[in-house]
Amino acid sequence: MTAERAFQVTGARGLDHSLLPMTLWRKAKKLGTWDPLDIDLEQDRRDWQALSAAEHEVLLHLTSLFAAGEESVTVDLLPLIGVIAQEGRLEEEIYLTSFLWEEAKHVEAFRRFLDVVAGSGADLSRFHSPSYRAIFADELPAALQRLRHDSSPVAQAEASVTYNMIVEGVLAETGYHAYHAMLERNGILPGMQQIVSLLKKDESRHIAYGVFLLSRLTAEHGEEVWEAIQRRMGELMPLAIGTIGEIFDAYQEMPFGLELESFVSFASAQFESRLARLERARGQSLESVLRGR
């Protein structure tokens, strides 16, 4: 006998379009439908040929970190989507369907730059330093894959902190800042500038959902979740700062005039901003979190 199954979308409730995830879903449909293959990289190829070997090296370095990072989240994201689906949070799951597609698109965008502009068929894993590997080979997959057997609020919070707050909210944002310093200030690689701008818009929605999810979990489950958020942020921030430091350690003189202190300060400001925003949820009602107020 077939089990009885209730379908939300044909029930009295339907879809609640006032929920923040549905607002993000509408934005994803309008703003996230760009194609990496449509971006013109001809000027980038000409600009690349005029750059020095040292400038090539640091651009390959940063791009390899982004490319592998995007691959990591693409590979490891499904358990989070699965947990949200299992809990019957249809509106959140609808928005999360755009996450996987967007992360996969980012993988394609960075690989296209490496193929078309840099002409790099080399193994770029030499750029993946110890702190970077600790995040993307250990912490990120462990936190997200844990959700396959532990869907507790604390496990969800630790996964979202790792992915949305540290990987996207600190490391990726700092990486965008680096691309800006190298490309926009020097008026080079307009195609890559466009890629980074589009990625940043996609991932701003991902971070917004991460803030929503962590705020919801805090509003629903209280101090246990908030303590887990603080603990996880504290555990991972040294690895994020370590990743930045290890990039600079690789060069006797950093090309493009980049300075370590400015990037550490930027990353630290991102960290403090994310944590302060999440702390607000301790005083919010669940209803205000759900509506994005």
Q: Rounded to whole angstroms, how far apart are CA atoms 53 and 182?
A: 15
Q: Residues 132-156: pLDDT tens digits?
A: 999 999 999 999 999 999 999 999 9
Q: Does domain 40-282 have CATH number 1.10.240.10?
A: no
Percent above pLDDT 70 for the chain: 99
Distances (CA, A) of 198 to 32, 60, 105, 254: 8, 20, 11, 27
Q: Rounded to whole angstroms, how far apart are CA atoms 133 and 258?
A: 23
pTM of the model: 0.94
Give the pLDDT band of residue 203 (cuts 50, 70, 90): very high
**Residue ranges of domains in the chain:** 40-282
Q: In degrees rounded to 5, what are phi and psi of residue 187?
A: 65, 40
Check whether 4 has a pLDDT greater than 80. Answer: no
Angle at 128 between CA 228 and CA 122, to 5 degrees: 150
Q: Residues 28-73: pLDDT tens digits?
A: 999 989 999 999 999 999 999 999 999 999 999 999 999 999 999 9
Please give the residue that has the higher pLDDT: either 279 or 189: 189
